[in-house]
Structure 1
């Protein structure tokens, strides 16, 4: 299961969207659901997150509230094996959605379209003649123009088993690059056009850390020239959002003891960088 994976922040459509996406992609499933253990942010017992797989790539959907909206600054690039597969996904996403780039031939693809679905999430769908796969695509524009390559290089330096797979420069800018972070595919691109949108917390990148040392390392480097946010959320120097948390998060938030789970959650709310030992100490009080 992917160590790094996108989290999509919805108001209250996390379950509906997860089931919808799973119905569209190959090699897809709902893996797990988590629920609010207190009533600080939402009604206790209501759905918090859905952990799912789409085309072999792990995702998470979150019911977080109406504060954030999706933008095309972060989209999902879908490589498809056949024209029929492209059209099936396109038609599904156009049901309640809108085209950002029409489905047609382009210099870079025999058949490609960019669509915003009914929830506002953006998808780039391309006939690539390979089995279906999804990569997270990050577009740098406006005041962030020219930062695609530095961002990619920093991220690759922070995560093991990461490398550039393809790179297409355009002068001093990066037309596009495909690379891996751990076992997840990413793309970056510079867009010289002016766009009325940027990055938001609606899409963040979860990192399942092995231990406190990894949390400390990533937190230090990702928040340098960035910003610390509560509950393990970090904003990096490029304006992208990350959730830096222990991989065994589910064990600490185990709902078999509701009082314990609520106490651990409330302790987490006091933190910015996650302190596993501090959370474990609260957990141990209820053993």
Structure 2
């Protein structure tokens, strides 16, 4: 059991979001779910809470209603070794959502993701690398490496 687990509040689409993330992350799995029993404040049988594990990280989603929308104040960072990984995660997660800047995107459920190269901190530790990063939406590892090398 993980001692610290992100717990995210969705309006009514936690189950759809969970299915979507399980389709994006090949090693993902459903850990548990709680469906409303008779007499609960939700329709009997509807999903209340679901816990997933994506890339070894557990996270729990709640169908909590419209009171607390997801914001850019929270994001998941996906560290990638190759451009192929960046492209794969980016293309799947941004579908129906919107690209942001510097490797960030907002998916169709309003959750923000950072799709970043494993060497990002080293690559942006030079003026050229930092300048290149600031002009990118989706990261291009080769362009970052070239800019960092001067």
* Class of the TM-score when normalised by the shorter of the 2 chains: 0.7 to 0.9
Structure 2 unaligned runs (5+)?
A: 37-43
- Matched residue SS, 1:153: helix
- Matched residue SS, 1:231: coil
The equivalent of 2:22 in structure 1 is: 156
Q: For the residues of structure 1 that align with 2:128 and 2:32, how far apart are their CA atoms?
A: 47
CA gap 1:168/1:279 in 2 versus in 1, 3 angstroms: same
Structure 1 unaligned runs (5+)?
A: 1-129, 255-260
Q: For the residues of structure 1 that align with 2:45 and 2:84, how far apart are their CA atoms?
A: 36
What CA deviation, in whole Å up to 9, does each residue of 1:187-228 have, x standing for no partner?
011124x41x31111111111112100110111111111000
Question: Moved runs in structure 1, 4+ residues, more than 2 A?
Answer: 169-173
Q: CA deviation at 1:179?
A: 1.4
Instruction: Report whether the alignment pairs 1:212 with 2:78.
Output: no
Q: Identify which of structures 1 and 2 has the higher relative contact order when contacts are C-alpha pairs closer than 8 Å and 6+ apart.
A: 2
Q: CA deviation at 1:172?
A: 6.2
Q: For the residues of structure 2 that align with 1:179 and 1:199, how far apart are their CA atoms?
A: 18
Residues 174-253 of structure 1: matches in 2 within 5 Å? 174-192=47-65, 194-195=66-67, 197-253=68-124
- TM-score, normalised relative to structure 2: 0.88
Q: For the residues of structure 1 that align with 2:46 and 2:105, how far apart are their CA atoms?
A: 26
Larger-Rg structure = 1
Q: CA deviation at 1:248?
A: 1.8
Q: For the residues of structure 1 that align with 2:127 and 2:70, how far apart are their CA atoms?
A: 31
Q: For the residues of structure 2 that align with 1:140 and 1:173, how far apart are their CA atoms?
A: 14
- TM-score, normalised relative to structure 1: 0.47
Q: CA deviation at 1:250?
A: 2.4
Q: For the residues of structure 2 that align with 1:173 and 1:270, how far apart are their CA atoms?
A: 44
For the 8 Å contact 1:173–1:190, the answer to whether it is kept is no
For the 8 Å contact 1:228–1:235, the answer to whether it is kept is yes
